[in-house]
Structure 1
Amino acid sequence: MQRFIKSLGAVILLSSFSSTADPVSELESLVNQWLQIEQQTNELETHWLEKKATMEQTLTLLDAEQTQLKQFNHNRQKNSSELAEKRTALIQKQGQLEVDESALNTQLNQLIQQLRSLQVQLPPPLFTSWQEIGDLTDENLDANEKLQIALKMLGQLADFQNRISIHEMAITNNQGKEIWVKQLYLGAAQAWFVSNDLSYTGIGFPAELGWQWQFDSELDGEQVAHGIAVQEKKQAANWLTLPVFSYAAKESIQ
């Protein structure tokens, strides 16, 4: 309002210098012009305030977006670093697994060769059991399947080795005649056999060419039969006198 009064005074002062125009009309014209100028000024100020608020809001949103982008970029770099570390760790672990797998395959192949060499020297009942478990030479088997077969074979060997067992089968003598005998196994390294009429006796033992049966007429058939009967719980336990031959000793006899 003060600005309007000052401006109006200036207009009145300037109008005093006019000698030709009507003072009242001129004053009204000047007042109208001033009012228009004031209205335009107010509109500009209002428009500016609106624009300023909008711009401040936009700047606030831009600042928030910039902060989010910075955080996103930071997280991305952090995640990229973590992913790189995990990728490196996985590559190292994979490399170690490949080394371990190679070592395992080498050891497994060695074990398979040993089992194959041992298989031919096994007592016939155990040899048959190993054949029923599986074939370690089967190329269609993977390493895990071969390992499972090998472990079962070793388990059966340990079980057979730690007990006395009885079996029956036909054995061919030196004249080519098949004799049905009962066999008394002491583990997997020693066996004795006797026919039902006690007329044929002998021993069994492992050799390089496989399990061997050898007839021995000097072996006491009653002792072998008694040992078998005890194991079958048909007779009371009693002392036995049976020859025990080591593999080395038997090889030297041949």
Structure 2
Amino acid sequence: MQRFIKSVGAVILLSSFSSLADPVSELENLVNQWLQIEQQTSELETHWLEKKTSMQQTLILLDAEQTQLKQLNQNRQKNTSELAEKRTALIKKQSQLETDENALNSQLIQLSQQLRSLQVQLPPPLLASWQSIGDLDNESLDANEKLQIALKMLGQLADFQNRISIHEMAISNSEGKEIWVKQLYLGAAQAWFVSNDLSYAGIGFPSELGWQWQFDTEIDGEQIAHGIAVQEKKQAAHWLTLPVFSYAAKELTP
């Protein structure tokens, strides 16, 4: 496994020198965007937990103060100025709670928008996982439920990005024919595929138009099949030669 990862790393390093600058920059921007979102999410989650505890404590205090105010009214105490001050403080606390809730909702809306903008570029298996978690546009969900969905999505993205994975699905070639292939994903930004009989092979990568699958007869299907077999622990690892970002740059160039 380590030899396979080293081999892919070596190929990525070599191919990066021959690739065009723009797609590499786009990929770096995409990774940086994911990292920024993860950082924002961590801050949002921390902020939410702090505010949730604070709001719960405040509500308990508010209930106690309201009970006290009712008792004061019932006893017709003369000190109406104190009662007025307590009412004023209660209104201020309620106003602060509403402000905090609005701030949380605003941050959650921003995070949801960023996640939606990433969806189109996700690999199909990861996109399907996100869709099964929930819908951030569902207006029936409260802020806490939407936050939990967002956190799960980011957790799956981080897990997919940090490992090599194998998936199977049917993809259409240029003639519209459905081909069943196995796919080897290197994180969420690079993939290769090959059919069972090795007659079809190609590469997958994210673009502005969404995730792209590209068939190519020049790609060695045996290399991809071996990489998949190594990942599935069916064969011993050895050096592999696979196209990486330079290929994606070539395909996206007008």
TM-score bin, normalised by smaller chain: 0.5 to 0.7
- Please list the CA deviations of residues 64-83 of structure 1 after superposition, one character each: whole Å capped at 9, or x if unmatched: xxxxxxxxxxxx97986766
Matched AA of 1:217: T
* CA–CA distance in structure 2, aligned partners of residues 214 and 110 of structure 1: 33
- Give the corresponding residue for 1:59: none
Give the secondary-structure state (helix, strand or coil) at the position aligned to 2:191. Answer: strand
Q: CA deviation at 1:160?
A: 0.6
User: Normalized against structure 2, the TM-score is what?
Assistant: 0.64
Contact 1:164–1:185 (CA<8 Å) still a contact in 2? Answer: yes
Aligned mates of 1:105, 1:251 — CA distance in 2 = 41
How far off its partner does 1:251 sit?
A: 6.5
Counterpart in 1 of 2:186? 186
| 137-146 or 88-97, larger mean C-alpha shift | 88-97
**Cα RMSD, aligned residues only:** 2.6
For residues 126 and 132 of structure 1, what CA distance do their matches in structure 2 show? 10
- TM-superposed CA distance for 1:115, in Å, is 1.2
Question: Which residue in 2 is equivalent to 1:249?
Answer: 249
Whose RCO is larger (CA < 8 A, sep 6+)?
2
Q: 1:248 to 1:176 in 2, by over 3 A?
A: closer
- The alpha-carbon deviation at position 234 of structure 1 amounts to 0.5
Deviation at 1:216, TM superposition (A): 1.3
Contact 1:227 1:240 in 2 (8 A): yes
Cα distance, 1:175 vs structure 2? 1.0
| Match in the other structure for 1:92 | 92
Aligned to 2:224: 224
Deviations 1:128-153 (Å, cap 9, x if unpaired)? Answer: 11111111111211222111111111
Question: How has the CA–CA distance of structure 1 residues 82 and 162 changed in structure 2, closer, same or farther, with 3 Å as cutoff?
Answer: farther
Q: How does 1:121-160 map to 2 (within 5 A)?
A: 121-160=121-160
Secondary structure of 1:128's counterpart equals helix
Query: Any idea what SS the aligned residue of 2:146 has?
Result: helix
Letter in 1 for 2:150: A
**Corresponding residue SS for 1:140:** coil
* 1:1-254 mapped onto 2 (5 Å cutoff): 86-245=86-245, 249=249, 252-254=252-254
The separation in 1 between residues aligned to 2:183 and 2:232, in whole angstroms, is: 12
- SS of the residue corresponding to residue 160 of structure 2 reads helix
Q: How far, CA to CA, are the matches of 1:215 and 1:193 in structure 2?
A: 9
Deviation at 1:203, TM superposition (A): 0.6
Q: Please, which moves more after superposition, 164-173 or 109-118?
A: 109-118
Residues 18-60 of structure 1 show CA distances to partners (whole Å, capped at 9, x for unaligned) of: xxxxxxxxxxxxxxxxxxxxxxxxxxxxxxxxxxxxxxxxxxx
TM-score, reference length from structure 1: 0.64
How far apart are the structure 1 equivalents of 2:247 and 2:126?
18
Moved more, 96-105 or 183-192: 96-105
Equivalents in 2 of 1:79, 1:163: separation in Å? Answer: 68
Residue aligning to 1:39: none
Structure 1 residues 248 and 194, CA, compared in 2 at 3 Å: closer, same or farther?
closer
Contact between 2:226 and 2:235, CA under 8 Å: does it hold in 1? yes
Question: Is the partner of 1:242 in helix, strand or coil?
Answer: coil
Report if aligned partners of 1:162, 1:187 keep a CA contact under 8 Å in 2: yes
8 Å contact from structure 1 (residues 171, 178) kept in 2: yes
How many pairs were matched up?
181
Distance 1:104 1:248, change over 3 A: farther
1:126 Cα deviation after fit: 0.7
Partner of 1:52 in structure 2? none
